[in-house]
Amino acid sequence: MSRPLCLITGASTGIGAACAVLAAQRGYDLILTYNSDAAGAQATADACTSHGATAQTVQADMADPAAIDRVFAVVDATGPLAALVNNAGIVGPATRASALTHARLREMFDINVIGAMLVAAAAVRRMEPRGTGTIINITSAAARLGSANQYVDYAATKAAMDIFTKGLSDEVAAAGLRVMGIAPGLIETPIHGKGGDADRAQRLAPMVPMQRTGSADEVANAVLWLMSDDASYITGSTLDVTGGR
């Protein structure tokens, strides 16, 4: 019996990479996208193949609709799409809302919202005729916390994805598709360094009721549970993975 196919965007490191390896362990074949870290994406693919999966990497800037089309050309050439982990996203250096520029906002929304919505829409077009499929949008606890004085623009993009998750899930539920969100909190991943504050998660850990940061593997476990038949009556909701924050 062939393995189901899962597409994971932004899979070169962090949560995307952890989801890919766990999906391979749970019986999926993978298509993994990355923007600039080809070596990281290949390392993720190699880890997946060590668990018996096939894993292809595809370079794609999620701000570029043509790149998204290329990703789905690979999907179509590989097999029916069973699951999407819509994970690719960026964060900018910490700043106040009053200092935001049009260029920064354009990039943030092009990747975190418009690109993610286009990826989800392309997945639906392939899943809906078959009457099966799951989509997991990786959002953030920032969507309800606001990230004042740090990442208000990032928080706004993730809030947009929360409501998109609900709206899309209602559109496709009767067709047999499920759409859910995962909202990580303070997770130890390289995204903090990309935002210019590599120690941010550890510094803020005392604010978490559980008094610690989370791991990418803990997020991946939640993602794979939502993708499984054990969550067959769950759609339209976003699960916090935040240690209670």
Q: Along the chain (245 residues), what's the average pLDDT of each consecutive run of 10 residues?
A: 93 97 98 98 98 98 98 98 98 96 98 98 98 98 96 98 98 98 91 62 84 96 98 98 95
Residue 240: phi, psi to the nearest 5? Answer: -75, 135
Would you state the pLDDT for residue 176?
Answer: 98
Would you state the pLDDT for residue 1?
Answer: 57
Is residue 43 within 8 Å of 37, Cβ to Cβ? no
Is residue 34 flagged as an active site residue?
no
- Cα separation, 30 vs 8, in Å, equals 7
Which stretch of DSSP H or E encloses residue 227? helix 216-227
Would you state the pLDDT for residue 204?
Answer: 80
Give the full edge-to-edge strand order of the sheet including 81-86: 55-59, 29-34, 5-8, 81-86, 133-138, 177-184, 238-241
Which tokens sit at 129? 């005729």
- Cα separation, 96 vs 4, in Å, equals 44
Would you state the pLDDT for residue 195?
Answer: 56
Exactly one of 28, 151, 154, 233 is catalytic; name it.
Answer: 154
Residue that is written with structure tokens 């935001």 in the block: 100
Which tokens sit at 76? 């179509």
Would you state the pLDDT for residue 199?
Answer: 75
Q: Which residues contact 37 (CB under 8 A, 6 or more apart)?
A: 12, 13
Q: Report pTM.
A: 0.95
Is residue 26 within 8 Å of 51, Cβ to Cβ? no
- Cα separation, 180 vs 164, in Å, equals 10
